[in-house]
Structure 1
């Protein structure tokens, strides 16, 4: 009888299955899989075959489920589902789920031929039923968990993109409003410096919306346009917008002179937005009646842009966590906590690095490090 054959050769069959698994590229069985996978299925198959040799054949369905794939709770279904979840957690594909059970069927067939073991037709039907049910339950659970994870990741990504869009939109609207208010109160000519800030902000708003519409259509953002430009003119442009924001805070804003022979390369609007986010963060957290200092200079093969504030420093061990999305460590919880995250990603997209150095009881120095380029002529 098949169940006796399986009992007598259980270790041999399990070893053959493990060998087949090890021969498949990229597939290694964990200890948990070895418990909830093929060996457990083999035990359930033996019990099913043994029960069907008695008058209580219906009891076998409690172990391995009914024929035809009907919906029913069974021991084999529960363990097969667990096996499917484990394979997904380890990054395997659905075909590897199927192969795990196919390995056992092949091992039984090969060993039966070697030992010339005669099996009854009903026993083969039971074997096929158990394999069908186990594979179906494992694949169903695997697919469900995979789709759930994919949907969860999609929602998370969409929420992050929406958060970034709203954050940048608010920043640009803030700069636009400040420039408009300054022009209105001072009765300024819009052809001057304030008018230029207003014009750039409106243009950036339009581009942000256009890029978002392209993203919605599925076209996605175009490749980053890189150009080489003067570091001093870049800092001057950032200074003009930042001075409007500094005027609404209780701190002073100072910009150190920049060597006019220095140059950097990258997407200028993206880098300006990154620096603007860092400066906004400094104005937000620096203590009243202190200073925010902006400096840019050469350091060997790199250009460093430093924003030094007087926030009092960061709690120990939080230097990296402040770049995480929605991270807000200070008392001022206005905003979404995305500014530094966006800044770090924007700098990285331009081949640079954004870091922070905390000085206890003093403040923080945020540093944008970019490759140094040839002198602009």
Structure 2
């Protein structure tokens, strides 16, 4: 079995990866990254392979993510995103992110050939899924952090140029004011030397203002920070209010850990109501004795808030109609069919999107996507 092979050879695989990473041209790494990064991924891969042999193989998705490329919170994704962020801090390029995971795949393949270790086709599929999800999340976070750094650099450059502009404007305005005061005090004609100084100063002001108009850029990041609030606190408040409601429906509500540094902006109370509507819908239709899962995480430039139930999945064509007003998709006719409509309108009004996807035989995942904001201090 692949998980036995990986468990028995994890030290050798980690050593080979460290050698590849350490000798690759242009690749520098801290000792902690070399010691921790690959072993962590190997452990997650081993756990995934073991769970997929258990009576509940789909539980492995919490560790390694889905196989269809859909965005979802997973342990592999979280550690891969941190890896991508760390590589950016070292000044490396995105291709180095991909190569790091490619090194591990090559090390596993090479050692398996040397040891003549037989693997099942499904085990190779699991390995590929874990690598694909890790690479995707690492590259996504790398790209987002790189864009944030570039945006901050642009803001600093804009501020520097504004500072020079203000300095020049003040000098010209000061000269014009002195010339005007001298002309006024001495009742001088503006056709003389004093008038010429005043005229040149006004012309200089006009020139600077005209040239600066082409360089004007709104400082959007600064404006966004004004309404930023903690994502972790947001989810925590929702959980406290919804956990009791879940018990009344005969199910449980589970939240996954939220990065304490993530932030978003918007009408907080209305967004809480939107997520509450999704949770009430999940409690209503999930099977008795199952759990509803609430997760919130970053994916590139977006914050995703997922509500997953165990209703068994949607009928064909249901996803396209369920956000329409007064639409009720089940024999349970409690309510008037406006909860999902209101939730979607609220999310759209805050610059986000609300979508649903069905997992056949398992349930539905309602996903809110909102713009990601700067990290809270």
TM-score relative to the length of structure 2 = 0.53
Aligned residue for 2:152? 152
Aligned residue for 1:133? 133
Q: 1:218-367 counterparts in 2 under 5 A? A: none
Aligned residue for 1:50? 50
1:180 Cα shift? 1.6
Task: Give the conservation status (yes or no) of the 8 Å contact 2:29–2:90.
Answer: no
1:89 Cα shift? 1.4
Aligned residue for 1:175? 175
Deviations 1:206-259 (A, max 9, x none): 442344346569xxxxxxxxxxxxxxxxxxxxxxxxxxxxxxxxxxxxxxxxxx
CA distance in 2, matches of 1:179, 1:133: 69
1:107 Cα shift? 0.8
1:118 Cα shift? 1.1
CA distance in 1, matches of 2:26, 2:103: 16
Aligned residue for 2:303? none
Is residue 2:198 matched to residue 1:198?
yes
Q: CA RMSD in A?
A: 2.2
Aligned residue for 1:62? 62
1:162 Cα shift? 2.4
Task: Give the conservation status (yes or no) of the 8 Å contact 2:182–2:194.
Answer: yes
Aligned residue for 2:6? 6
Larger Rg: 1
Aligned residue for 1:161? 161
Secondary structure of 2:144's counterpart equals helix
- When residues 167 and 86 of structure 1 are mapped into structure 2, their CA distance, relative to the original with a 3 A threshold, is same
Aligned residue for 1:21? 21
The alignment of Structure 1 onto Structure 2 pairs a total of residues equal to 217
CA distance in 2, matches of 1:146, 1:60: 31
CA distance in 2, matches of 1:72, 1:128: 17
Is residue 2:118 matched to residue 1:118?
yes
1:8 Cα shift? 1.6
Deviates more, 1:47-56 or 1:114-123: 47-56
Secondary structure of 1:164's counterpart equals helix
Secondary structure of 1:119's counterpart equals coil
CA distance in 1, matches of 2:205, 2:83: 51
CA distance in 2, matches of 1:42, 1:193: 81
Task: Give the conservation status (yes or no) of the 8 Å contact 1:22–1:28.
Answer: yes
Aligned residue for 1:304? none
CA distance in 1, matches of 2:180, 2:214: 29
Aligned residue for 1:280? none
Aligned residue for 1:297? none
Deviations 1:274-305 (A, max 9, x none): xxxxxxxxxxxxxxxxxxxxxxxxxxxxxxxx
CA distance in 2, matches of 1:36, 1:89: 17
Aligned residue for 1:186? 186
CA distance in 1, matches of 2:199, 2:35: 67
Secondary structure of 1:67's counterpart equals coil
Aligned residue for 1:101? 101
1:193 Cα shift? 4.8
1:188 Cα shift? 2.8
Secondary structure of 2:127's counterpart equals helix
CA distance in 1, matches of 2:152, 2:29: 27
Aligned residue for 2:79? 79
